[in-house]
């Protein structure tokens, strides 16, 4: 179990940022994965007093505070109204309701975990991260950055008219995904996000043409990614699953459109 010598409930983002510049400090989000590590750190910095635990909806976007829980994503009526069933699907297999009541969106995104359903889902949308010092940048750009000691403040999802579906394959219901896929679409473009390869999610952008065979498009999308082998499955099997699931998601989007 991880242990800390000091605990600080930050009174401002500036205080939290300054404390976090020391390598011996850790920003505490939901502490769901962090607490199972076996190490000692000097200072735990708590952001829970900074009002970052709300989902705000405007005409242009959803603004999700970094301390919002995965359960809040799962049951938020505004998100479910704009992206029907999407966040319920990408969260429902993450351990259980008790876990999702503790795990935070900020922790899931900032960690850029290979197994993250949340990162995979949000990458297929028009999503941006708001960093305290780094400003607002696209999630795709954030995913390619090296880890630093900035603070993730909010996640912003633009209302650009995309429709989206999510699917994952697991060896057991609440296990980490063997592969995770999210596909969104505009009039002429598919946005395909694939995670648990077992590396972190990446995005492929596929042009849509009327009458194109979805099986061929799905195979083309699967070719955009590199896959690895671990005890859950081989690289070849992951690539096969990606083509299968992406085809299903393409078909679901086309049915909805029709």
Question: What pLDDT shows up at residue 218?
Answer: 94
Neighbours of 230 (CB within 10 A): 12
Q: Tens digits of per-residue pLDDT, 158-169?
A: 999 999 999 999
Measured CA to CA, the distance from residue 42 to residue 24 in angstroms comes to 5
Residue 79: pLDDT above 60?
yes
Question: What pLDDT shows up at residue 39?
Answer: 63
Mean pLDDT score, 130-152: 95
Which parts of 68-206 fold into alpha helices (H)? 70-75, 77-82, 86-91, 97-100, 105-111, 117-123, 139-144
pTM exceeds 0.75 for this model? yes
Question: What pLDDT shows up at residue 165?
Answer: 97
Measured CA to CA, the distance from residue 209 to residue 238 in angstroms comes to 27
Axis-axis angle for helices 235-257, 214-222 (nearest 10): 140
Mean pLDDT score, 140-158: 95
Whether the ω angle into residue 198 lies within 30 degrees of 0, i.e. cis, is yes
Question: What pLDDT shows up at residue 37?
Answer: 61
Out of 73-77, 119-123, 174-178, pick the least confident: 174-178
Question: What pLDDT shows up at residue 34?
Answer: 59
Q: Which sign does the torsion angle of CA 113, 159, 67, 171 carry?
A: negative
Q: Tens digits of per-residue pLDDT, 15-71?
A: 999 999 988 888 876 555 555 565 666 788 889 899 999 999 999 999 999 999 999
State the pLDDT confidence band at 211, using cuts at 50, 70 and 90: low
**Three-class DSSP category at 109:** helix
Mean model confidence pLDDT for the chain: 91
Mean pLDDT score, 170-188: 92
Question: What pLDDT shows up at residue 33?
Answer: 59
Q: Tens digits of per-residue pLDDT, 222-237?
A: 999 999 999 999 999 9
Mean pLDDT score, 2-7: 78
Domains of the chain and any CATH numbers: 2-46 (3.30.43), 55-158 (3.30.465.10), 163-256 (3.30.390.50)
Q: Which residue has the higher pLDDT, 247 or 256?
A: 247
């Amino acid at each position: 179990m991880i242990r800390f010598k000091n605990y600080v409930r930050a009174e401002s983002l500036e205080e939290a940022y300054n404390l976090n510049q020391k390598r011996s400090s850790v920003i505490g989000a939901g502490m769901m994965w962090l607490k199972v590590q076996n190490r000692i750190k000097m200072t735990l910095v708590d952001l829970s007093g900074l009002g970052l635990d709300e989902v705000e909806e405007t005409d242009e976007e959803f603004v999700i505070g970094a301390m919002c829980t995965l359960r809040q994503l799962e049951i938020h009526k505004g998100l479910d109204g704009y992206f029907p069933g999407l966040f319920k699907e990408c969260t429902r297999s993450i351990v259980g309701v008790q876990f999702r009541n503790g795990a935070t969106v900020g922790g899931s995104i900032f960690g850029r975990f290979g197994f993250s359903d949340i990162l995979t889902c949000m990458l297929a949308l028009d999503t941006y991260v708001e960093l305290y010092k780094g400003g607002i940048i696209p999630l795709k750009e954030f995913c390619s950055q090296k880890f630093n000691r900035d603070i993730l403040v909010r996640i912003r999802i633009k209302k650009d008219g995309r429709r989206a579906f999510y699917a994952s394959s697991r060896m057991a219901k609440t296990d980490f995904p063997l592969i995770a896929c999210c596909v969104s679409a505009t009039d002429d473009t598919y946005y395909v996000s694939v995670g648990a390869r077992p590396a972190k999610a990446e995005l492929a952008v596929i042009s849509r043409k009327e009458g194109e065979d979805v099986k061929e498009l799905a195979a083309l999308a699967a070719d955009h990614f590199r896959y690895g082998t671990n005890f859950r499955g081989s690289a070849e099997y992951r690539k096969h699953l990606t083509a299968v699931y992406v085809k299903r998601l393409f078909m679901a989007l086309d049915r909805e459109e029709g």
